[in-house]
Structure 1
Amino acid sequence: MRILLLVSTFNSLTQQVFCRLEDLGHEVSVEYARSPRLMEEAVALWKPSLILCPYLTQKVPETIWRNIPTLIVHPGPPGDRGPSSLDWAILRKETEWGVTLLQAEEAMDAGPIWASKGFKMPSTSPKGRIYRSEVGLATLCLIEEILEKFENPAFHPKPQNPLKPMHAPVRQVDRAIDWSQDDTATIVRKINASDNHPGVKDSLLGLEVTLYGAHPERRLRGAPKEVLAKRNGAICLGTVDGAVWISHLKESHRFKLPATYVLKNRLKGIKEHRIPLYVDPHLETFKEITFVQEGRIGYLGFDFYNGAMSAEQCIRLKYAIKTLRDEVDLLVLTGGPNFFSNGIHLTILEESKKQGEDGWSNINAMNNLIESILFSDDILTVASFGANAGAGGVFLGLACDFVVAREGVVLNPHYKTMGLSGSEYHTYTLPRRVGEAKAKEVTEACLPLSAKRAKRFGMVDAVFTAEAYETSLKKWCRELLTDEERYYDLLDAKRDRLEAERELIDACKEAELKRMYPEFWDPNSDFHRLRHDFVYKVCPSRAPTRIARHRVKVRVKRQGERDDFVSNNQEK
Structure 2
Amino acid sequence: MRSLKILLLSSAFNGLTQRAWLDLRQAGHDPSVVLFTDEITVCRQVEASGADLVICPFLKDRVPEQLWNHPQRPVVIIHPGIVGDRGASALDWAITRQVNRWGVTALQAVEEMDAGPIWSTCEFYMPADVRKSELYNGPVSDAAIVCIRDVVEKFATGFVPVPLDYTQPGVIGRLQPNMTQADRTFSWFDCAAFIKRSIDAADGQPGVLASLLGGQYYLYDAHLDSRQGTPGETLAVQDDAVLVAAGDHSLWIGSLKRKAQAGQETFKLPARHVLAEQLAGVPVLDSSIAQQRFNALAYQPIRYRETDHVGELTFEFYNGAMSTEQCQRLVAALRWAKARDTQVLLIKGGRGSFSNGVHLNVIQAAKVPGLEAWANIQAIDDVCQELLTARQLVISGLTGSAGAGGVMLALAADIVLAREGIVLNPHYKTMGLYGSEYWTYSLPRAAGSEVAHKLTEECLPISAVQAMEYAMVQDIGPRCPHTFDLWLSQQAQSALTNPQYRDARARKAMLDIQQIERCREHELAQMQLDMVQNRQQFAEKCRNFVFKRKTCQTPQRLIAPWALTYEAGMPESRMLNG
Q: TM (normalized to structure 1)? A: 0.92
Query: Are residue 544 (structure 1) and residue 547 (structure 2) matched?
Result: no
Report the more deviating stretch, 115-124 or 80-89. 115-124
Aligned counterparts of 2:10 and 2:567: Cα–Cα separation in 1: 25
2:156 aligned partner = 151
Residue 213 of structure 2 is aligned to residue 205 of structure 1: yes
- Post-superposition shift, 1:190? 0.3
Cα 1:262/1:12, change in 2 over 3 Å: same
Matched, 1:277 2:285: no
Render the CA deviation track for 1:213-241: whole Å, top value 9, x for unaligned: 101111x2211011111111211111111
CA apart distance, 1:542: 2.1
Distance 1:331 1:119 in 2: 35
Equivalent in 54, 57, 67 of residue 54 of structure 1: 57
- The structure 2 residue matched to 1:171, chosen from 133, 155, 180, is 180
Q: Partner letter of residue 547 of structure 1?
A: L
Q: Determine the structure 1 residue equivalent to 2:93.
A: 88
Q: CA deviation at 1:424?
A: 0.3
1:426 alignment partner, one of 439, 458, 473: 439
Paired position in structure 1 for 2:360? 346
Choose which of 145, 161, 165 in structure 2 pairs with 1:161.
Answer: 165
Task: Report the secondary structure of 1:269's partner residue.
Answer: coil
CA distance in 2, matches of 1:548, 1:280: 50
Report the alpha carbon displacement of residue 341 of structure 1 after superposing the two structures with TM: 0.4
The correspondence of residues 118-517 of structure 1 with structure 2, limited to 5 A, is: 118-153=123-158, 155-162=159-166, 165-180=174-189, 182-218=190-226, 220-251=227-258, 252=260, 253-277=265-289, 279=292, 282-325=295-338, 326-376=340-390, 378-467=391-480, 468-482=483-497, 491=505, 494-495=508-509, 497-498=510-511, 501-517=512-528
Code of the residue aligned with 1:174 in structure 2: it is D
RMSD: 2.2
Whole-angstrom CA distance in 2 between matches of 1:277 and 1:396: 20
**Which of 100, 103, 127 is 1:98 aligned to?**
103
Change (3 A) 1:568 1:294: farther
Residue 257 of structure 1: how far off its partner (Å): 0.6
Residue of structure 2 equivalent to 1:25: 28
CA separation of 1:27 and 1:186: change in aligned 2, threshold 3 A: same
Task: Say whether the 8 Å CA contact 1:229–1:270 is kept in structure 2.
Answer: yes
The Cα shift of 1:550 comes to: 6.8
Deviations 1:489-528 (A, max 9, x none): 9656523x11xx2222211111111111121212575111
Secondary structure of the structure 2 residue equivalent to 1:423: coil
Q: How many residues are aligned here?
A: 552
Deviation at 1:553, TM superposition (A): 6.0
In 1, distance between residues paired with 2:533 and 2:89?
A: 42
SS of equivalent to 1:440? helix
1:179, distance to aligned residue in structure 2 (A): 1.8
User: What does the per-residue CA deviation read over 1:275-330, in whole Å, with 9 as the maximum and x for residues that have no partner?
Assistant: 33275664444321122323222322111111111122112212222222224222
**In the alignment, is the contact (CA less than 8 A) between 1:202 and 1:209 conserved in 2?**
yes
- What secondary structure is seen at the aligned counterpart in 2 of 1:358? helix
User: Given that residues 34 and 46 in structure 2 are in contact (C-alpha distance below 8 angstroms), is that contact kept between their aligned partners in structure 1?
Assistant: no
Shift of 1:444: 0.7
Report how far residue 379 of structure 1 moved.
1.3
Unaligned runs of 5+ in 2: 168-172, 572-578
Q: Which runs of 5+ in 1 are unaligned?
A: 555-564
Look up the equivalent residue of 2:154 and give its one-letter code: K
Question: Which residue type is aligned with residue 409 of structure 1?
Answer: I
Q: Distance in 2 between matches of 1:507 and 1:297?
A: 31
Q: Distance in 1 between matches of 2:454 and 2:530?
A: 22
Task: Give yes or no for contact 2:438–2:516 (8 Å, CA) kept in 1.
Answer: yes
- Cα distance in 2 for partners of 1:566, 1:49 equals 14
Contact 2:531 2:538 (C-alpha < 8 Å) held by counterparts: yes
Alignment check: 8 A CA contact 1:60 1:104 kept: yes
Separation (CA, whole Å) in 2 of partners of 1:441 and 1:487: 26
1:559 maps to what in 2?
Answer: none
Q: 2:543: which partner in 1?
A: 532
Which of structure 1's runs of 4+ aligned residues deviate more than 3 A? 278-285, 485-493, 548-554, 565-570
C-alpha distance in structure 2 between counterparts of 1:488 and 1:450, whole Å: 24
**Shift in Å, 1:548:** 3.4
Amino acid at match of 2:540: R
- Summarize deviations over 1:79-138 as a string: whole Å, max 9, x none: 211110000000001121111111111111111111111112121121001101111111
Q: TM-score if structure 2 supplies the norm length?
A: 0.91
SS state of the match for residue 345, structure 2? Answer: strand
From the superposition, tell whether residues 493 and 58 of structure 1 become closer, same or farther in structure 2 (CA, over 3 Å). Answer: closer
| 3-state secondary structure, aligned to 2:465 | helix
CA distance in 2, matches of 1:257, 1:509: 29
Is 1:70 equivalent to 2:75 in the alignment?
Answer: yes
